[in-house]
A and B are shown apart, each in its own frame.
Chain A
């Protein structure tokens, strides 16, 4: 799984900003607390028409998720 790495400042600045009427930018921390942005192909097409199009230029990097707390 790959996503785009952004700085903590950029993640906090853009978190929750809508790229259309139904979809908002979301940043997820990996196992090392680095923020990643994930965009589906549909999201990429939508972002391309927004002021956030520059995010598409960020390179893709491997993402290692934080482990979920176990249930009994």
Chain B
């Protein structure tokens, strides 16, 4: 077929691949979580590439992108499918916007901070789509060693405060609270040194603290509640659209992390 002077096109009968090339880690997640929707695949793939580009990916131990709308997909750890996959206690509702606990349930991450993380190099994150003031924890772990030792995120306590309690004792937990009257958004609590703990809501650093680390808990991290010395308590009703557990994040990391996650949520049409 001649289409222009001096240019010809020959039909070689070779098939032309239209399948998008995905990052290998993203592709492994799609298989494990049975994700087939093209928008969801694109969102996750972009998220993975962004985290890798920002050198955040390697700091993650567990990444729950909460995509697919069903428990079997929401359970899968994007960082390493099959490791730290979630198990849900009855009482969760799963939807395309996220997963919502009923205020008397939790999900088990199987991640034990004292073995998977380091005392002065830890973060938790939680993307909440619910605005509620309640005496609840959105995720966390604790241990009783003389006094309670906490690794926990509280997005909006009854007194309109958020807690970014990353490896702190009960007597020091007050040093990790900040004023906060909206529990919607992406919350990150991070510790990068024995005297450096920070807390972010979206792109705003709400806590820039120096409270000393004490103990990293030896109980599994729960989502939708805190693991209170071995059993769930302080149950949440906040819809979760993303969560992670891993090494500590710098301020730059936290900003890049928020940008990547918010882009991800926007692509899925569920950003807050």
B135 contacts which of A38, A70, A72 (Cβ < 8 Å)?
Answer: A70
The 8 Å CB contact of A42, one of B71, B154, B177, is B71
Interface assignment of A57: CB less than 8 Å from any CB of chain B: no
List residues 18-63 of chain A with CB under 8 A from any CB of chain B.
18-26, 28, 36-43, 47, 63
Given contacts A1-B103, A23-B87, A26-B105, contact A42 B174 (CB under 8 A): no
Chain B residues with Cβ below 8 Å from A69 are: 233-234
The count of A-to-B residue pairs whose CB atoms sit within 8 angstroms is 81
Q: Which residues of B contact A23 (CB under 8 A)?
A: 71, 87-90, 92
Please determine whether B102 and A72 come into contact, CB atoms closer than 8 angstroms.
Answer: no
B173 proximal to A (CB < 8 A)? yes
Bound complex: CA A66 to CA B235 (Å): 10
Report if A22-B104 is in contact (Cβ < 8 Å); known contacts: A40-B92, A40-B93, A71-B163: no
Q: Which residues of A are in contact with B by a Cβ distance under 8 Å?
A: 1, 3, 18-26, 28, 36-43, 47, 63, 65-72
Q: Within the complex, which residue of B86, B91, B174, B233 is in contact with A22, where a contact is CB–CB below 8 Å?
A: B86
Known: A43-B90, A68-B136. A38 touches B102 (CB 8 A): yes
B79 within 8 A of A: no
CB distance from A60 to the nearest CB of B (A): 13
